[in-house]
């Protein structure tokens, strides 16, 4: 390792070395050079990059400049005006791990510090960012904008394909934010669009992703995802073609809100995102997949010199439903103890997701020491009928210890169920097009009017999204003595319609009817209306931000023996916007 911090005369020498090619001056092992004019060169014997005040350019790997005319590497929040400015750079730490020397190089901006941990012999670097003073924001990311002739394709867990050519992005075909009709395609009815949102993927289960071509690949491998915001249903952009310049884009969207309601987030000083691995190779996806396996197995990273990072413990326990069943295969989230945000929106600290097993048992490992709120909800399967969620606050995790939560009881509804349409799991899985690959405009394929008959219709007869003027009806029959709620000494009259939405995009309003009585309204817009999550119009097909409603009504006067119906009548509509369904329950 040669960690050189070169002063001005040396910088001159280095710059002239480009012209005269003096190979003896090329350092081996990880290095950091300060050229003295807000320009630094980092890398090792395999790759190097020249970092300026904002952009990292001239990314040399195998003697090839992988950035070329593209913008390069930068860190940015809330759109193009806010690229971070690096005002100084230094070696934060140097060390050796299992015989390999490494340098942790830190670039400082007003908002925080971007670190590159460069090991000898590694094609790429570990990256992490530590907050100092980020503003309240919705989007915070690091990214590469790379040469588009070198990187022609992109890969996520869900897709592996050529990036659409910039020549297909015709201004006259633009239909909304970052969405164009494919030239020659009619658009409408799903398909026929180009949009970066089609290249979204699930954050918490993502293995590796990146851009590649015939000779080069550039990948992100995020082993350990505790620094990301949100729960299991957190989805984000990963890769795309930059629609203004044509660059191949590889995004590390460490804090994104593209598919959720709130984009007003604050971070404590010291919040750390990463380290994750940025990895270069010859374009092989198999090699990137193998590297990802190794990284996942090595997390949390033993080589990382940070005390708080290693203060971790475990949590285990078991959950039983109040009706005696185990809480099987339920989704679990260790989140903020303060419940003022939704699980998807929680973002300030560190978050852990998991599932219970068939017996309702669970264990979280490698959890950063802190106090958490544990939220648990049905992920379908054996628990598809469970509409309640479980919350346990003050789950305290202590470094080096296992927190044992005794067997916990999860109250489930005791009311008599009249019908349920769709599994209760916060997603649209099971319905027509529910969970289809990301595709802009797919909701156009759902009908304006739909009738579902309890007892004969199948779940897939209901469609994943409702966006057109019209009525979706659930018809069901009650026998001679319906008295819906006779158990538990409840009032015979009380019925509750539970409506669970996997997502909702503003621009559609709905009236909810039980027979000929309006039992609820879902109105678009400012509170008490519903707030927007962009999932439905940004190619989402599975989930956006989950919403839960209960509409109680007087069953005695509204329902009758024989045929009855619940009706969702869309009264105002906007193209591609509206309701993404999870489940409807009447009890």
Ligand X SMILES: *[C@@H]1O[C@H](CO)[C@@H](O)[C@H](O)[C@H]1NC(C)=O
Residue 183 within binding range of ligand X, rule CB under 6 A:
no
Neighbours of 254 (CB within 10 A): 22
Which span sits near ligand X by CB under 6 A: 113-121, 205-213, 394-402, 566-574?
566-574
DSSP 227-265: TS-S-TT-EEE-EEE-TTT--EEEEEEEE--TTSS---B
Phi, psi of 365 (to 5 degrees): -115, 160
CB of 91 to ligand X, least distance (A): 15
Which residue sits closest to ligand X, CB atoms considered? Answer: 246
Smaller CB separation from ligand X, 304 or 397: 397
**Span near ligand X by CB under 6 A; candidates 93-101, 188-196, 526-534, 569-577:** 569-577
Paired with 409 in beta bridges are 320
CA angle 491, 495, 496 (to 5 degrees): 130
Q: Whats the size of the chain, residue-wise?
A: 587
60 contributes a contact to ligand X by CB under 6 A = yes
**Angle at 386 (CA atoms; ends 382, 391), nearest 5 degrees:** 115
What is the C-alpha to C-alpha distance for residues 487 and 494, in angstroms, rounded to an integer? 11
Residue 246 is a binding residue for ligand X (CB under 6 A): yes
Residue nearer to ligand X on the CB measure, 322 or 407? 322
Per CB under 6 A, 207 contacts ligand X: no
Question: Which 3 state secondary structure label does DSSP give 225?
Answer: coil
* 148 within 8 A of 246, measured Cβ to Cβ: yes
Q: Write the binding mask 309 to 348 for ligand X: x where contact by CB under 6 A, - elsewhere.
A: -------------x------x--------x-x--------
**546: helix, coil or strand?**
coil
| 521 near ligand X, judged by CB under 6 A | yes
Contact characters 38-57, ligand X, x per CB under 6 A: -x-x------x---x-----
Binding residue count for ligand X, defined by CB under 6 A: 53
Does 78 interact with ligand X (rule: CB under 6 A)? no
Among 4, 5, 78, 85, binds ligand X (CB under 6 A): 85
Instruction: By CB under 6 A, name the one of 1, 6, 35, 122 that touches ligand X.
Output: 35
Least distance (Å) between residue 414 CB and ligand X: 4
Of the residues 92, 468, 547, 567, which one makes contact with ligand X according to CB under 6 A: 468
Q: Shortest distance, CB of residue 575 to ligand X, whole angstroms?
A: 4
Q: Report the chain's terminal Cα–Cα distance, integer Å.
A: 69
On whether the CB atoms of residues 217 and 114 are closer than 8 A, the answer is no
Question: Can residue 497 be called a binding residue for ligand X (CB under 6 A)?
Answer: no
Question: In terms of CB distance, is 316 or 521 closer to ligand X?
Answer: 521
Q: Which is nearer to ligand X, 26 or 396 (CB)?
A: 26
Q: Which residue, 109 or 237, has its beta carbon nearer to ligand X?
A: 109
Contact code string over 108-147 relative to ligand X, x by CB under 6 A: ----------------------------------------
- Half-sphere exposure in the Cβ direction for 440 (13 Å, CA): 21
What's the Cα-to-Cα distance from 393 to each of 48, 223, 361, 374, 376, rounded to whole Å?
A: 47, 27, 18, 6, 12
Rounded-to-integer distance, Cα 370 and Cα 347, Å: 15
CB of 23 to ligand X, least distance (A): 8
Q: Is 575 in the site for ligand X (CB under 6 A)?
A: yes
Site string for ligand X, 253-292 (x = CB under 6 A): ----------------------------------------
CB-based burial, 480-500: b 16+ in 10 Å, e otherwise: eebebbeeeeeeebebbbbbb
Instruction: Figure out which of the listed residues 9, 19, 20, 167 binds ligand X, where binding follows CB under 6 A.
Output: 167
> Using CA of residue 502, residue 160, residue 192, residue 198, what is the dihedral sign?
positive
Minimum distance from CB of 310 to ligand X (Å)? 26
Contacting residues for 562 by C-beta, under 8 A, at least 6 apart: 477, 478
Name the residue nearer to ligand X (CB basis): 172 or 307.
Answer: 172
Q: Under the criterion CB under 6 A, does residue 355 sit at the interface with ligand X?
A: yes
- Closest approach of Cβ 309 to ligand X, in Å? 24
Pairing of strands 100-108, 112-119: antiparallel
Chain residues 370-409 in contact with ligand X, contact rule CB under 6 A:
379-381, 388
**E strand segments, 336-411:** 352-355, 361-368, 370-377, 390-397, 402-404, 408-410
CB distance 57 to 49 below 8 Å: yes
Determine the interface stretch with ligand X among 88-96, 97-105, 393-401, 567-575 (rule: CB under 6 A): 567-575
Interacting residues toward ligand X by CB under 6 A: 11, 15, 26-27, 35, 37, 39, 41, 48, 52, 60, 63, 69, 81-85, 148, 165-167, 245-246, 322, 329, 338, 340, 355, 379-381, 388, 411-414, 425, 429, 448, 468-470, 507, 509, 518-521, 572-575
């Amino acid at each position: 390792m040669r960690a050189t911090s070169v002063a001005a005369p040396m910088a001159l020498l280095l710059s002239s070395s480009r012209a005269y090619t003096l190979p003896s001056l090329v350092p081996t092992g990880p290095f950091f050079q300060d050229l003295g004019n807000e320009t630094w060169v980092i890398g090792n014997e395999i790759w190097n990059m020249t970092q300026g005040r904002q952009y990292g350019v001239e990314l040399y790997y195998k003697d090839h400049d992988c950035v070329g005319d593209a913008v390069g590497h930068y860190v940015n929040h809330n759109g193009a005006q806010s690229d971070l400015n690096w005002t100084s750079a230094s070696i934060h730490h140097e060390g050796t791990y299992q015989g390999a020397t490494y340098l942790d190089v830190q670039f400082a901006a007003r908002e925080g510090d971007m670190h590159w941990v460069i090991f000898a012999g590694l094609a790429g670097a570990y990256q992490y960012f530590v907050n100092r003073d980020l503003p309240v924001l919705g989007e915070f990311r690091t990214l590469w904008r790379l040469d588009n002739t070198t990187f022609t394709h992109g890969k996520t867990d869900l897709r592996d394909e050529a990036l659409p050519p910039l020549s297909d992005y015709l201004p006259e075909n633009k239909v909304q934010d970052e969405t164009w009709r494919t030239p020659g395609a009619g658009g409408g009815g799903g398909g026929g669009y180009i949009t970066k949102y089609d290249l979204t993927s699930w954050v918490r289960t993502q293995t590796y992703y990146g851009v590649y071509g015939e000779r080069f690949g550039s990948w992100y491998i995020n082993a350990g995802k505790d620094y990301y915001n949100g729960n299991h249903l957190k989805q984000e952009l990963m890769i795309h073609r930059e629609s203004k310049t044509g660059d191949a884009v590889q995004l590390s969207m460490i804090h994104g809100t593209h598919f959720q309601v709130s984009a007003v987030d604050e971070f404590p000083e010291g919040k750390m995102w990463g380290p994750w691995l940025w990895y270069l190779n010859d374009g092989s996806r198999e090699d990137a997949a193998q590297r990802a396996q190794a990284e996942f197995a090595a997390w949390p990273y033993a080589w990382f010199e940070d005390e708080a990072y290693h203060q971790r413990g475990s949590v285990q326990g078991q959950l039983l439903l109040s009706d005696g069943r185990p809480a099987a295969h339920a989704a679990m989230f260790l989140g903020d103890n303060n419940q003022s945000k939704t699980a998807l929106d929680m973002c300030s600290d560190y978050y852990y997701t998991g599932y219970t097993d068939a017996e309702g048992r669970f264990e979280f490992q490698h959890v950063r020491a802190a106090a958490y709120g544990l939220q648990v909800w049905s992920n379908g399967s054996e628990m598809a009928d469970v509409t309640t969620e479980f919350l346990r606050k003050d789950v305290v995790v202590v470094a080096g210890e296992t927190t044992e939560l005794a067997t916990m009881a999860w109250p489930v509804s005791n009311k008599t169920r009249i019908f349920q349409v769709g599994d209760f799991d916060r997603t649209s899985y099971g319905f027509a097009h529910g969970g289809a690959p990301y595709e802009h405009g797919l909701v156009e394929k759902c009908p304006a009017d739909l009738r579902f008959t309890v007892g004969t219709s199948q779940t897939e007869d209901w469609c994943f999204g409702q966006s057109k003027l019209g009525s979706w009806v659930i018809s069901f029959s009650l026998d001679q003595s319906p008295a819906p709620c006779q158990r538990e000494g409840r009032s015979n009259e009380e019925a509750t319609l539970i409506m669970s939405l996997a997502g909702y995009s503003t621009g559609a309003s709905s009236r909810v009817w039980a027979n000929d009585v309006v039992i609820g309204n879902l109105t678009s817009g400012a509170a008490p209306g519903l707030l927007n999550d962009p999932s439905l119009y940004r190619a989402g097909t599975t989930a956006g931000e989950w919403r839960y409603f209960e509409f109680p009504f007087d069953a005695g006067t509204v329902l009758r023996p024989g045929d009855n119906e619940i009706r969702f009548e869309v009264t105002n509509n906007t193209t591609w916007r509206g309701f993404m369904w999870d489940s409807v329950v009447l009890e």
